[in-house]
Structure 1
Amino acid sequence: MGQKSLIYAFVSRGTVVLAEYTEFSGNFNTIAFQCLQKLPSSNNKFTYNCDSHTFNFLVDNGFTYCVVADETAGRQVPIAFLERVKDDFVSKYGASDKAGANAAANSLNKEFGPKLKEHMQYCIDHPEEISKLAKVQNQVSEVKGVMMENIEKVHTDALRDFLRQAQDFRTSGTKIRRKMWLQNMKMKLIVLAILIVLILVIVLSVCHGFKCGK
């Protein structure tokens, strides 16, 4: 395969290895499997260093893609390898139980093991292309991050404006209710005063002034 930069790779569903490939001997597969058992289940990328090697993992929708590399390979080439393997694997098997069924029949390793070898060789033979691709992907990720940050900021500003308007509405509502209450009380007092005056007029008319009872 050429230089010893990418050493061992596998694809697993959970902790069950479905396909693997290596041309080298060593305990890296044992260490990789131990790391696999401790990986979080959330979709993400993880890298561990041990004995001048990096153990790189890509977790995606229940499947884990791993490559063990020499530290001199850096990080871009192993991650690019994992992305290529993931895309190839998903295009062939999807994220269904078909891969698990194939593994039970012991056929997936025969089918996809050679593909791991092909992707390893390609990444080793085209490091400059991989680096350029990784740079573009990083730029895309940065742009996406800025866009998401801007969208989040717009949503936050919109929510802040909505809350402010809601507060203003509540304040205005309180003032309006207080004003209506005062107007209502004023009207009641006016009606009460009119009733008192009418009662007094009626009493005075019936009693001819204040002579009632005399």
Structure 2
Amino acid sequence: MGQQSLIYSFSARGTVILAEYTEFTGNFTNIASQCLQKLPASNNKFTYNCDGHTFNYLVENGFTYCVVAVESAGRQIPMTFLERVKDDFSKRYGGGKASTAGANGLKREFGPKLKEHMQYCIDHPEEINKLAKVKDQISQVKGVMMENIEKVLDRGEKIELLVDKTENLRSQAQDFRTQGTKMRRKMWIHNMKIKLIVLGIIVALILIIILTVCHGFKCF
């Protein structure tokens, strides 16, 4: 990794640059500043390519961290640099400390820190790439775990749905038994009425026959 892989960096609040560092001259400082003016305010990471360089930005909680790198540096080194700068800046000036430090104080104090982080990332590319691979593996494992948790939760919902269906079936079965009991009672009463009617008809026929044969009640 060449000495010029990272060539310019700054920390800003909104669109105001608080501290910056570079050992080189060029129009990259103007381009980086112009891009800063157009960045969305939401927390995110952005990378722009221009004239063989990448302009990398990390926006978080109203602060913007930038590093300009040659394209051959890739994306991992610049983004690792921005994460290191963000963490260091937040520890030093978080919670409103940036306002009390003053513009000149920030430039004097944090400008050299930008140089230190830049040099570290330039000198330790293999270590950074290894850490990036570990983070990527952790993210993959986390993604698999979240997917499994979602499957378990989804299975739990299906189990609950099955329990609900079982309860509904029990309720329906109970209603069916109740309706069956009522229907059997109704049919029993209906059958008893028919039997009584038939019995009454038989008794009446017997009485008619007896009365006809005996010419009244003379047989008794």
Aligned runs of 1:149-168 on 2, under 5 Å?
Answer: 149-168=147-166
Instruction: Tell me the equivalent position of 2:28.
Output: 28
Equivalent residues of 1:18, 1:100 under 8 A apart: no
Distance 1:165 1:31, change over 3 A: farther
Provide the C-alpha distance between the structure 1 equivalents of 2:169 and 2:106, rounded to a whole number of angstroms: 67
Runs of 5+ in structure 1 lacking a partner? 198-214
Provide the C-alpha distance between the structure 2 equivalents of 1:60 and 1:86, rounded to a whole number of angstroms: 8
Provide the C-alpha distance between the structure 1 equivalents of 2:168 and 2:100, rounded to a whole number of angstroms: 61
Please tell me the residue identity of whatever aligns with 2:170.
Answer: S
Instruction: Tell me the equivalent position of 1:132.
Output: 130
Provide the C-alpha distance between the structure 2 equivalents of 1:75 and 1:42, rounded to a whole number of angstroms: 21
Provide the C-alpha distance between the structure 2 equivalents of 1:97 and 1:177, rounded to a whole number of angstroms: 68
Provide the C-alpha distance between the structure 1 equivalents of 2:129 and 2:43, rounded to a whole number of angstroms: 23
Deviations 1:109-152 (CA, angstroms, capped at 9, x unpaired): 22111100110111112222222222222222222222222222
Distance 1:112 1:188, change over 3 A: farther
Distance 1:141 1:169, change over 3 A: same
Provide the C-alpha distance between the structure 2 equivalents of 1:99 and 1:178, rounded to a whole number of angstroms: 75
Instruction: Tell me the equivalent position of 2:208.
Output: none
Q: Which stretches of structure 1, 4 residues or more, deviate above 6 A after TM superposition? A: none
Instruction: Tell me the equivalent position of 2:98.
Output: 99
Instruction: Tell me the equivalent position of 1:209.
Output: none
> Do residues 77 (structure 1) and 52 (structure 2) align?
no
Instruction: Tell me the equivalent position of 1:117.
Output: 115
Larger Rg: 2
Deviation at 1:187, TM superposition (A): 9.0
> Do residues 16 (structure 1) and 19 (structure 2) align?
no
Structure 2 residue matching 1:169: 3-state secondary structure: helix
Runs of 5+ in structure 2 lacking a partner? 194-220
Structure 1 residue matching 2:24: 3-state secondary structure: coil
Instruction: Tell me the equivalent position of 2:63.
Output: 63
Distance 1:120 1:170, change over 3 A: same
Provide the C-alpha distance between the structure 1 equivalents of 2:109 and 2:84, rounded to a whole number of angstroms: 16
Deviation at 1:5, TM superposition (A): 0.9
Distance 1:75 1:174, change over 3 A: same
Deviation at 1:78, TM superposition (A): 0.7
Q: For structure 1, which segment, 56-65 or 107-116, has the greater mean C-alpha deviation from structure 2 after superposition? A: 56-65
Provide the C-alpha distance between the structure 2 equivalents of 1:131 and 1:34, rounded to a whole number of angstroms: 30
Distance 1:154 1:88, change over 3 A: same
Instruction: Tell me the equivalent position of 2:199.
Output: none
Provide the C-alpha distance between the structure 2 equivalents of 1:17 and 1:43, rounded to a whole number of angstroms: 17
Provide the C-alpha distance between the structure 2 equivalents of 1:148 and 1:109, rounded to a whole number of angstroms: 43
Instruction: Tell me the equivalent position of 1:207.
Output: none
Provide the C-alpha distance between the structure 2 equivalents of 1:17 and 1:166, rounded to a whole number of angstroms: 61
Deviation at 1:162, TM superposition (A): 2.1
